[in-house]
Structure 1
Amino acid sequence: MVPQDISERSAGMLGLFGRFVALIGAAMILMRRGGASNGKPALGGAPIIPEAKPQRIPTLKMPTARGWTEGHTPTAAPGLKVNAFAKGLKHPRWIYVLPNGDVLTSEALGVDGGRMRTPFDYAMYATMKRAAAVGDSPNRITLLRDTDGDGTAEVRHAFMEGLNHPFGMALLEGTFYVGNTDGLMAYPYTDGTTRIAAQGRKIADFKPAGHWTRSVLASQDGSKLYVGVGSLSNIAEHGFAAEEGRACIYEIDLKTEKSRIFAGGLRNPVGLAFEPATGALWTVVNERDGLGDETPPDYLTSVKDGGFYGWPYCYWGQTVDDRVPQAPGLVATAIRPDYALGGHTASLGLCWLPAGTLPGFPDGMVIGQHGSWNRSTLSGYRVIFVPFENGKPSGPPRDILTGFLSPDEKFSYGRPVGVTIGPDGSLLVADDVGDVIWRVTGA
């Protein structure tokens, strides 16, 4: 949906602000100074995080969305190969595999952010539009079926339509759950169906807009659902009341349909996954902007029941963000994350990869890094793997897919989002700029 303030203005206004974007972009590069990366990303369990350098104007840099030409694919790591499982989608964000092997993908674009008040708001909108990150949202879930087992989906159905910015999905005991931006919906499901047209019912409400995605993960015993709900803003600049019930992970009891906040202080927790040996819940979190290229890093962390992870008051444990009015009691309880993923990588997708699923890869987590906009040198735009031992990350990240970004950083061919294990044991990756679901296997 195009914000009303933009839709009421002509292309001439957008052209004016396009010129403004060029000017402000040049100014941002000149102003980044100590906030720029020193070439060493903040990674791992003990990252070196540069001192915060608050930016009067946040760095705004985003490649133009180009998409993939015929025969052009991401670059798979040695020993792996990649093919398009499905093309011609519209902004596929998340993937869910049904028990019969059908693959579902939710297709949606961002929610209307409301009235734009400043030149920077217009600059941000123009930049995001160029990157294919805003526009008319398809608001549907598409079903894909590989009938002959060749690794390409030959059958496609509109599984659900008319949804409100759908994202996460789960199927439990004949009920299909969808994480819409404004709530968790439940629908009756029949095995093998290619379409759900029944009226759903809402079993949990969430505030829409801002970080709009609502990831959904079933507990290992199927009795509960976990839902990631991001913040409205960067550092609660619209007030703390607007952030109530946000920046957290919810736990929903499916028997009583009561929900509670399982953990908070998580600015934008998107991907959710269980580590099978310990049963711990893990998430990837997008941290705040405007403090420098690597400050603070996005992260992968286990999530403790009742835990508080710092946002908006502090980051990476008790490192205070002095742009925010403080709450010392909460800061004192802030849990330090387990594993840094580098600054502004926009790590969104997350799934557990059992050892041997891909040749040469041990147990660990796969992460879809959507890619940065708030850095002088872009980061992310790749699919990575973090090895695990004894229930914890155990080494540096490894690339699985790269090549989503042009070498000069001017264009993005694609941007990876959701990741999951396919029905044939492959790795599936949603690419919302390339409009493709990629399939990764051994070479």
Structure 2
Amino acid sequence: MINRKLIAAAATGLFGMMVAQSAFALSDNIKTLEHMGSTGASLDIETVPQDPDRAAAIRKTLQKVKLPSGFSIDLYAIVPDARHMAIGRNAGVVFAGTRKTKAWAVTDRDKDRVADEVKRFAPSVDLKVPNGMCFSRDGMLYLIEHNRVLVFPAAEFFYESPDVAIGVVTEQLVPESEESFNHGARTCTIGPDDKLYITIGQPYNVPPKDKMALYNKVGLAGIIRMNQDGTEREVYARGVRNSVGQAWDPKTDELWFTDNQVDGMGDDIPPGEVNHATEKGQNFGFPYFGGGHVRTEQYKDEEPPADVVFPQVETIAHAADLGMTFYDGKMFPEQYRGGIFSAQHGSWNRTTPVGARIMFTPIKDDGTAGEMRSFASGWLTEDTGEYLGRPVDVKQYLDGSLLVSDDTTGAIYRISYTGE
């Protein structure tokens, strides 16, 4: 495990000499990078051409996107397989994960709000499903893989090189027996308590009963938290089928998260969820409930926990609600401040496809959710059911605009407000 106090020493070259060795076997490159050594990786880092013809085609699609009056959307960058994002506070570098083997660093060098460079982040490190990205308040970039957590001190400085300062937080998020290609995209946030929060889906549509004791123990079908050095891991929330989005309300310091619900029950049930966690130890109902108040067939005869926390928002079934963010910027009108922007990736098995849009949920004065409504739509062609794009994550940029990732198009968009 790494020691939090030692991470800051990376910039002065002391990190590698002082960091404790992981209890698990590390790749040779990570061992080298932990000691601030050079791996010999090529300085010619893979970049993504911002091809004008490709950019023009994406912008043509964006002309179909419907937004409230005064808002506009444009292409920010071509980013293959772009999933969850983290935005640096110093230079505004956008780090984007994927569900494959690469992560990207996206840089707007001339500050015209269109990226000039997209290049591979940490190319000398082998990654597996590096979906989740989040920054600590002091500039540490956490990357959540399928079954490992890495930290990159001073990521906005070291990202220019193929070799980056690195630490291993944990080499095992879930038991090896529970590794699966299904529901393996993790997300992360740093809570007001400076702990690292990670969503961990479980590999089944509905898990068998003999798995639940293990899952409840390790945090599968839940949200875990730990210190930023990986110590004091604990289960924060249970009964969460497959959350792929979380955010903290800056007014209340409370966690909200999306949750994708059970398939195979029909087009219109069960609903998706936006949940509100107010304290450690709450149970959000899965697998007793498949979504909202809809019971699963497999657990219909089981007594659910008496204190199940039902969702604040029940969303349209199978729309696949993913990334989310609270808006506290100043660019958008007052009515959006303090509310939640979230991405609906779109259904994969619904007879009539739904989703592929950005939603907005206002938060009332009492801290509960108002009615969710569509904010940006048009990526789903109504007459053919074809997806022109599938939003994954939404994050507030430094200037108060919104960035939206799309893993189908392979792009990041920027939504801004001028009032014109």
Q: Match for residue 411 of structure 1?
A: 386
Kindly report which structure 2 residues correspond to 1:16-415, keeping only aligned pairs within 5 A, or say none: 69=58, 71-73=60-62, 74-87=65-78, 89-109=79-99, 137=100, 139-161=101-123, 162-172=126-136, 173=138, 175-189=140-154, 191-194=156-159, 195=161, 196-198=163-165, 200-203=167-170, 205-207=172-174, 208-209=179-180, 210-221=182-193, 223-237=194-208, 240=211, 243=215, 245=218, 246-254=220-228, 257-303=231-277, 304-315=279-290, 319-324=294-299, 326-328=301-303, 330-354=304-328, 356-359=330-333, 361-390=336-365, 392-415=367-390
The 8 Å contact of residues 169 and 230 in structure 2, kept in 1 or not, is answered as no
Paired residue secondary structure (2:189): strand
Deviation at 1:107, TM superposition (A): 3.9
TM norm structure 2: 0.76
Deviation at 1:86, TM superposition (A): 0.2
The 8 Å contact of residues 317 and 334 in structure 1, kept in 2 or not, is answered as no
TM norm structure 1: 0.72
1:436 and 1:300 map into 2 onto residues whose CA distance is 25
Higher strand share: 1
1:313 and 1:68 map into 2 onto residues whose CA distance is 45
1:157 and 1:362 map into 2 onto residues whose CA distance is 33
Q: Match for residue 403 of structure 2?
A: 428
User: Larger relative contact order (C-alpha < 8 A, sep ≥ 6)?
Assistant: 1
Q: Deviations over 1:389-421 (max 9, x none)?
A: 225345322322211111224321110001101
2:308 and 2:208 map into 1 onto residues whose CA distance is 20
Residues paired across the two proteins, number? 346
1:335 and 1:387 map into 2 onto residues whose CA distance is 20
1:325 and 1:393 map into 2 onto residues whose CA distance is 29
The 8 Å contact of residues 344 and 357 in structure 2, kept in 1 or not, is answered as yes
Deviation at 1:363, TM superposition (A): 2.3
Letter in structure 1 aligned against 2:221: A
1:355 and 1:189 map into 2 onto residues whose CA distance is 25
Could you list the runs of 4 or more consecutive aligned residues of structure 1 that deviate by over 6 angstroms after TM superposition?
none
Please report the RMSD computed on the Cα atoms of aligned residues, expressed in angstroms.
2.4
The 8 Å contact of residues 97 and 132 in structure 2, kept in 1 or not, is answered as no
Identity across aligned pairs (percent)? 27
Which ranges in structure 1 are unaligned for 5 or more consecutive residues?
1-66, 110-136
The 8 Å contact of residues 348 and 418 in structure 1, kept in 2 or not, is answered as yes
1:404 and 1:237, CA in 2 relative to 1: closer, same or farther beyond 3 A? farther
Q: Deviations over 1:152-211 (max 9, x none)?
A: 011233222331111222333464311001122223335533245345414262233220
1:191 and 1:430, CA in 2 relative to 1: closer, same or farther beyond 3 A? closer
